[in-house]
Structure 1
Amino acid sequence: MTSPTRWGILATGKIARSFATDLRVTPDAVIAAVGSRSRASAEAFVRDLGDDATRVHASYDALVTDPDVDVVYVASPHSLHLEHARLAFAAGKPVLCEKPLALTRAQGEALFEAAGDLFCMEAMWMACHPLIRDLQARLEAGEFGTPRQVTADLGFVVDQDASPRMWDPLLGAGALLDMGIYPLTFARLMLGPYAAAVAVGDVSESGVDLDVAVAARHAGGAVSASTTSMTSTSPRTATIATDQGLLQLPYDFHHPAYAVWTPAGGEPQRLEPPTAVIGTGLGNEAAHVQECLRDGLSESPLVSRAQTLELLGVMDDLRRQLGVSHGAD
C-alpha cells in the first residue's frame, strides 16, 4: 500500500480548475490545499470542487509551507512561475510547474537551479498522454518506419478582453509561449532535438506575436512545420510522415482520442490509447509525477529538464527572429 500524494494547488485560474478536476479521479491523489492571493478566490475554488476537506490558504506562502502538502502544482501565469516555484523550493516542496516553465531559457535555468535535488517538472501533459507515449515508443522502435516529417498546429481566437497574460507583452503574452509550445514539443518528442528553426509571423503593434509559422530541422535530419495562432480557428491537428506511411492525429492532437496509421499502399488503421486516459489527460500527468516522487526522482524521464531548457532556448531564438520581447528580456 502507498500513501496518497497530497497536492497543493497554487493559483485558482482556468488551468488550475481543470487540473483539480482531473486530480479528483487520479488514483492515490488528494487535493490537500489550495492557495490564492485572496481567501475569497480560494474558497470559491474549493466550493466549486465540492470538497470540504481541502484547506484554503489566503497566500501562496501559507500554501507552500503547509506541512500536509507533499507537492505543489504552480498554476499561476508563466511570468510568475520562477517566483512561485522558488517559494515552494524554499519550503522544501517538489513542484509541477505549468508550461511554459519560464519566459526564457535563462529563467528556466534559474528555476531548476533553485530546485536543486527537489523534483521539478514542466507540466507538459501531452508528453504524459498514453497515446502520445505509445506513438513515440513505437516510432523509436521502428514499428512505423523512419519518421522524416512532422506537421503540428494549435491555435484559437483569443478575445481582446481575455486575460492580460495573453495580451500584455511584459507578461510574456503571445501565441508562441502559450500555444506554440505544444506543436514545437510534439515535433521534439517525435523527431528528437532541434538543429535549426526559422520563424515568420504577424506581430501586433504592441509587440505580441499573433500568428507564427516555424520551419525546423532536427538533429537526425528530419524536418518539422509548426504553426500557432491567436486570431483563427486553426486545424489543431498533427501528422507524422515516415518512409513507410503516415500517422495522423485529429483535432486537439495534444490530447488525442485516437490516431490513424496508413501504411503506404495499405488501408487506414485506427490506433487507440493503450491504457486509460485519466480525466482529460491531466490526470495522467499527475499520476506520472506521483510515480516519480515515489521513485525518489528529481526529474521526469518523460519531460526532462534538458528538453524543457532546449525548447525554451528554441523559443528565445524564434522570438528574436520575430522581434518579440517581454519583461524577462
Structure 2
Amino acid sequence: MTTRWGILATGKIARTFARDLALVPDAELVAVGSRRLASAEAFAAEHGGTAYGSYEELVADPAVDVVYVASPHALHLDHARLALEAGKHVLCEKPLTLDVAAAEEMVRLAAEHDRFLMEAMWTACHPAILALRDRLRSGELGRPRHLHAELGFRVDAPPEDRMLNPSLGASALLDMGIYPLTFAHLVLGEAEELHAVADLTADAIDLDVAVTGRYPAGALATMTASMSSWSSRRASIATDLGRIDADDFHHPERITFTPYVQGEGSWVFLPGEQVEIEPTEPVVGQGYAHEIVEVGRCLAAGLRESPLVPHAQTLTILRQMDDLRAQVGVRFPGS
C-alpha cells in the first residue's frame, strides 16, 4: 500500500519532512500547496509532486491520501479542518494547536469525518526513544529518580516571523518546551505536578522557561526551553543503578547507560562500563521518516489514531502547556 502525501505550507520544516519522505518505501509525495503558487512550484521542483497556489486546491486533489500540515501553530486548526472536511487524513505539526480546547475540536472533527489524525511528534516515534522506554519499563536500567532535559537556541528573526509573532503562537514553551515535556511523559509517565518560571518579552512571549515536575513513583524532573541561548540539547536520567544520557534527546543519535558499581570502601561507587541503548530499528534520515512510517502503518491497519502518539497523550501535553503558560502569564491574542 503506497501512502500518497500532500504537504500544506512550504517552510523549512516542510522541506526537511519532504527529504525524509523520499527515503520511506511505500510513501509518495504527490502534491504541495502554498498561498503563493511560485513557492509551491519551487518546492515541487525540488521535491516532486503537483504544485498548487492554494490550500483549497491541495486538499481537493483526489490523489492525496494524507495532508501534512506544516503551517504556523496558530493556523493548524483551520488547515486541519480544511483537510479533514475534504476527506483527507492528517498529520499535523506539533504542537497540534495553541491550546487544548482547539486540539479537542480537531480530534472531534477527525472523528466526525472518520479520518486519521496524528500530531507530528517525531520523538514519540523515534526508534532510540522507543528502545529507552522499553528498557526503563523492564527495570533493567534501574528506577528513574530524576530527569533533566533542555532544548534551546538563539532566535534571530524579525518581529513578524512566526517564532516571535504572538498572533502566530510564538512561544519557547510551545516550540521547544514541548519536547522535554513529551520526553518526560514517555519515559516517566503522566506528570502529577508541574511548575514554571519564565522570562517574557514586552509582548508577553516566553523567551525562556524553566519547569519542575513531579512524576509517578516519586520521580522528579527539571526541564528548560529557550529562544535566547544555546542549550546542550541533552537529556539525562538518574536512576538508582546509574545514569542515562541522550544527545539531541528529541531525536537522539546516541543514548547510553552508565551503571555505577561498588568500589573499594563502604561509600565508594564508580562508573562502570558504558552500555549503548540500541534503537529498535535503524534510524532513517533526520527522524521524520519514522512518523511517516507510523502514519502508513496505521492507515494500512485501518486505525484512526496512532498507538505511539495517541490523542490522549497529545491532549495531556497541551493541557500541561496551557497550565504552565497561565502560571507565567503568557496569553495569545484572542484567547
TM exceeding 0.5 = yes
Matched to 2:5, the amino acid is: W
1:255 aligns with 2:251: yes
Match of 2:276 among 270, 277, 285: 270
Measured at CA, do residues 7 and 317 of structure 1 come closer, stay the same or move farther in structure 2, by a change above 3 Å?
A: same
For the 8 Å contact 2:177–2:224, the answer to whether it is kept is yes
Give 1:311 shift. Answer: 0.6
Q: Matched residues in 2 for 1:328 and 1:225: separation?
A: 31
1:210 aligns with 2:207: yes
Normalised by the size of structure 1, how large is the TM-score? 0.96
Match of 1:220 among 217, 221, 233: 217
**Which stretches in structure 2 are left out of the alignment for 5+ residues?**
262-271
Match of 1:17 among 15, 18, 31: 15
Aligned counterpart, 1:143: 140
Aligned counterpart, 2:243: 246
RMSD (Å) for aligned C-alpha atoms: 1.2
Give 1:221 shift. Answer: 2.5
Q: Matched residues in 1 for 2:224 and 2:86: separation?
A: 39
For the 8 Å contact 2:200–2:208, the answer to whether it is kept is yes
For the 8 Å contact 2:242–2:259, the answer to whether it is kept is yes
SS at match of 2:192: strand
Q: Matched residues in 2 for 1:191 and 1:163: separation?
A: 37
Give 1:220 shift. Answer: 3.4
Q: Matched residues in 1 for 2:96 and 2:334: separation?
A: 13
Q: Matched residues in 2 for 1:321 and 1:29: separation?
A: 42
**Which stretches in structure 1 are left out of the alignment for 5+ residues?**
none
1:45 aligns with 2:43: yes
For the 8 Å contact 2:33–2:53, the answer to whether it is kept is yes
Q: Matched residues in 2 for 1:234 and 1:4: separation?
A: 39
Measured at CA, do residues 104 and 328 of structure 1 come closer, stay the same or move farther in structure 2, by a change above 3 Å?
A: farther
Q: Matched residues in 1 for 2:145 and 2:312: separation?
A: 23
What count of residue pairs does the alignment treat as equivalent?
323
For the 8 Å contact 2:30–2:50, the answer to whether it is kept is yes
Deviates more, 1:166-175 or 1:128-137: 166-175
Q: Matched residues in 1 for 2:116 and 2:240: separation?
A: 39
Give 1:145 shift. Answer: 1.7
Give 1:327 shift. Answer: 2.4
For the 8 Å contact 2:21–2:289, the answer to whether it is kept is yes
Q: Matched residues in 2 for 1:274 and 1:146: separation?
A: 21
Aligned counterpart, 1:107: 102
SS at match of 2:98: coil
Matched to 1:109, the amino acid is: E
Determine what percentage of the aligned residue pairs are the same residue. Answer: 55
1:180 aligns with 2:189: no
Match of 1:234 among 231, 234, 237: 231
Give 1:201 shift. Answer: 1.2
Higher Rg: 2
Matched to 1:306, the amino acid is: A
Once superposed, which parts of structure 1, at least 4 consecutive aligned residues long, lie more than 2 Å away? 160-164, 270-274
